């Protein structure tokens, strides 16, 4: 009897573990685009559509504690990052007792913009990953990482 129960319990625990690893990613739909704005210069937009009653923290999350949205770009010898990633959306600043301080976050949608310059007239990609977390008024889902590959140039 116990020999049958242990494998079933392991399967159940494994299923919850897989679900937890993709927690925040299930609530955010990411889209990635690029647009030429000048000679060899492109504006890369990374848009997060946040589901339900969740919110996603800004790159500067404010109070210490919540996981800020973070972009990590893979080095590419043809691409130069021009400045920092900028945010565009309705930034909400609110005191949260869970983090004892004022936090900065977005609801529904936020656009992150990175300007890149190409060293040559060529088609290449801007690769990387974004780490983020979503929370509602009562809980935070586990942080997620989403990899991206955005075509630029050409």
Range picked from 11-15, 17-21, 48-52 for highest mean pLDDT = 48-52
Q: What pLDDT score was predicted for residue 97?
A: 87
In-domain check, residue 100: yes
In a domain? residue 102: yes
Weakest-pLDDT range from 1-15, 34-48, 119-133: 1-15
- The tally of domains found in the chain comes to 1
* Residue 112: CATH number of its domain: 2.60.40.1250
141: Cα within 13 Å, side-chain hemisphere:
29
Q: How far apart are CA 116 and CA 85, in angstroms?
A: 10
Is residue 3 pLDDT above 80, yes or no? no
46 with 86: CB under 8 angstroms? no
In this prediction, residue 154 carries a pLDDT of 80
Identify the sign of the CA torsion 67, 68, 69, 71: negative
Least confident of 14-23, 50-59, 112-121: 14-23
Q: What's the CA gap between 78 and 5, in Å, rounded?
A: 56
| pLDDT, tens digit, 9 for 90 and up, residues 52-110 | 999 999 999 999 999 999 999 999 999 999 999 999 999 999 998 888 899 999 999 99
Give the structural domain span for 102: 23-153
Please check whether residue 11 lies inside any domain of the structure: no
Residue 17 lies in a domain: no
Q: Is residue 99 part of a domain?
A: yes
The verdict on residue 40 lying in a domain is yes
Asked if residue 12 belongs to a domain, the reply is no
Residue 36 lies in a domain: yes
pLDDT at 21 over 90: no
Distances (CA, A) of 154 to 96, 127, 146: 46, 16, 25
Q: pTM (2 decimals)?
A: 0.83
Strands (E), 51-137: 55-62, 70-73, 79-88, 92-96, 101-107, 109-118, 123-132, 134-135
């Amino acid at each position: 009897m116990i020999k049958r129960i242990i494998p079933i319990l392991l399967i159940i625990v494994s299923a919850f573990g897989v679900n937890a690893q993709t927690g925040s990613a299930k609530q955010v739909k990411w889209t990635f685009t690029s647009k030429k704005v000048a000679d060899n210069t492109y504006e890369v937009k990374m848009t997060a559509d946040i589901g339900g009653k969740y919110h996603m923290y800004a790159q500067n999350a404010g109070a210490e504690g919540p996981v800020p949205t973070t972009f990590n770009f893979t080095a590419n010898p043809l691409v130069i990052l021009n400045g920092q990633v900028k945010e565009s959306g309705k930034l909400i600043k609110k005191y949260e007792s869970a983090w004892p301080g004022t936090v900065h976050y977005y609801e529904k949608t936020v656009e992150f913009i990175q300007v890149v310059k190409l060293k040559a007239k060529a088609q290449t990609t801007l690769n990387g990953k974004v780490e983020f977390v979503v929370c509602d008024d009562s809980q935070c889902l586990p942080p997620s990482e989403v990899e991206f590959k955005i075509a630029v140039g050409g």
